Copies of this chain bind each other. A is one copy, B any other.
Amino acid sequence: MEMEMVHGAKSRVFTRGLSGLRNLVVKLKEKCVGIAKNIKKIAKDDPRRVIHSLKMALALTLVSLFYFVRPLYEGFGVSGMWAVLTVVVVFEFSVGATISKGLNRGLATLTAGALGVGAQHLAVLFGTKGEPIVLGILVFLLASMSTFTRFVPSIKKRYDYGVLIFILTFSLVAVSGYRVDVILVLAYQRLSTIVVGGATCMIVSIFICPVWAGEDLHNLIAGNLEKLAKFMEGFGEDYFTFPDNDKISMNSKKDGKSYLQSHKSVLASKTNEENLANFARWEPCHGQFRLRHPWKQYVKVGALARQCAYHIETLCGFINTEAKVPMEFRRKIKDSCTKMSIESSKALRAMASSIEKMAHPKQVVMHLENSKQAAKELENVLKTMLYGPEDIIALVPDATVASILVNIITCVEKISEAVHELANVAHFKEKIEATVSPEPTKHTAKLHRGIVNPMYDDGDRGEVDYVEVIVCDQKPQKIGNCIEGEIRVDNKCSNNVNNSTVISPPSIITCT
């Protein structure tokens, strides 16, 4: 009987232990699956991260092997480790950051090394007792002054790492206690290994799937404008839509609210934009970008886009306060407000597309004019309405929305000015972008449109069924014979015609 009880207790303990172990295994498995999913997501969000990791490992392995087979290059000795060290600290995600760190490290090592040798020469003059004191004082002075310069914004932005390496190298050389001839050999070894490490980094960074900070900044700014456009479009379509059937509207409203999040990342992209602009300045010309591409102007556009995002964030506060609003008032201002949102969305999207394709933003001004026109229409609508005292309190939220919309248009106008300036200083192509919105015909409002009788400057007359007249918002540059008021067949502008319109060859463009 007792034996049985003991046996039962033992088996219970065993079963409990087993189930505990099973739970632990299950939990561990869940944790591992969670981590794996997280890693997969990080890799999927930006596959360049995986490539960067492999590139970094490649550069390090190359330099390590150089160090490992060092007996072949006996000259370098232990200094070979500086190559490994350089690769680890210099290799960064973008080409610009890698070049910036590599050049900073190389130049700082060179100057600080020379100064360090000078300091030793000076210190030797003070005899064996005075030497450490003089060197100590020199290190103290140089380190304190250099550290302070790291607080100067212009130095912090571009040369922070260089100053760090400057302090490091100077201290190392000054207090190494070696004789000067030994130091020179060491300095040569160290510099050449740093050059090997830095060059390996730069070559791998530039020639194997390069990540250009400039291109990232370019895409980030275009993407941010696109996000603002997405919000304005979603807002215009959603806020002024009236439910026919409650159930359907509830569902569509729920799905339609995704646009509410699109501008959030714009609010917090300041640091990212500034970092990318700093790195981009170090990059050589690549793709469509020249050496001195106006990266600062991108930061300016980004700042104005953020300003617009602030207004949008405030607008968000009024989207869910619809309960008390009389639909009648909203119905009356619907047309003009929708037009204001949709047109400013189109202007933003045209700017995004213009930056993306590096083409002059031609349709922006038209969309802006349309949205301003809508603002005026709203004013007229408001002027002709009649209100009872009870209405006022109820229409305040909608009036606020309209009012903020007007301010957003002002913001978009400022962005447009900055984008035009960018297009000028960055020499964007003089090209009208093909499509500015996914539904090019739905809301588009051309300023003038019609059939005109073509005139040919070479006297020849072809068969023309249809002519698209595009009223340029800017004075067109003279391309060949295509000047103001003239019409030309087969001129270079023929590529610039909006894809959405059917044009029979030969295509013709009028610039007014």
Contact = CB atoms under 8 A, between A and B. Distances in A.
A84 B385 CA distance: 78
A144 B57 CA distance: 5
B310 A267 contact: yes
A152 interface: yes
Contacts of A379: 393
A147 B271 contact: no
Contacts of A390: 383
Interface string A31-75: 000000011001100000110111011101100110111100000
A317 interface: yes
A292 interface: no
A407 B147 contact: no
Interface string A149-191: 0011000000000001001100110111100000000000000
Contacts of A85: 168, 172
Interface in A366-423: 379, 382-387, 389-390, 392-393, 396-397, 399-400, 402-404, 407, 410
Given A135-B68, A403-B400, A81 B140 contact: no
A463 B400 CA distance: 57
A148 interface: yes
A168 B314 contact: no
Contacts of A399: 396, 399-400, 403
A132 interface: yes
Given A57-B143, A64-B139, A311-B317, A404 B400 contact: yes
A372 to B, nearest CB: 16
B402 A143 contact: no
A175 B64 contact: yes
A310 B264 CA distance: 12
A446 interface: no
Contacts of A68: 132, 135-136, 175, 177
Contact of A384 (B78, B307, B389, B396): B389
A168 B83 CA distance: 11
A397 B382 CA distance: 13
B151 A67 contact: no
Interface in A66-124: 67-70, 78, 81, 84-85, 88-89
A24 interface: no
A174 B84 CA distance: 11
Interface string A121-137: 00000000000100110
Interface residues of A, number: 79
Given A88-B164, A379-B393, A400-B403, A64 B171 contact: yes
A403 to B, nearest CB: 4
B172 A50 contact: no
A151 B145 CA distance: 35
A445 interface: no
Contacts of A58: 140
B403 A53 contact: no
A10 interface: no
B136 A89 contact: no
A396 B88 CA distance: 60
Contacts of A392: 382-383, 385, 387
A140 B382 CA distance: 69
Contact of A167 (B60, B69, B132, B175): B60
A313 interface: yes
A449 interface: no
Contacts of A135: 64, 68
Max chain B C-beta neighbours (<10 A), residue from A174, A271, A403 = A403
B389 A385 contact: yes
A141 interface: yes
Given A39-B148, A61-B139, A399-B400, 16 more contacts: A53-B145, A56-B147, A57-B141, A58-B140, A61-B136, A84-B175, A88-B167, A89-B164, A267-B310, A311-B317, A314-B407, A318-B403, A383-B393, A386-B389, A387-B387, A400-B403
22 contacts: A42-B148, A42-B152, A49-B148, A50-B148, A53-B143, A57-B143, A60-B139, A60-B167, A60-B171, A61-B139, A65-B132, A68-B177, A81-B176, A88-B168, A270-B271, A307-B313, A310-B310, A310-B313, A314-B314, A314-B407, A383-B389, A386-B389
Question: Considering the complex of A and B, which 10 residue pairs feature the smallest CB-CB distances, nearest first?
Answer: A57-B144, A400-B403, A57-B143, A314-B314, A53-B147, A53-B148, A88-B168, A64-B175, A68-B175, A310-B313
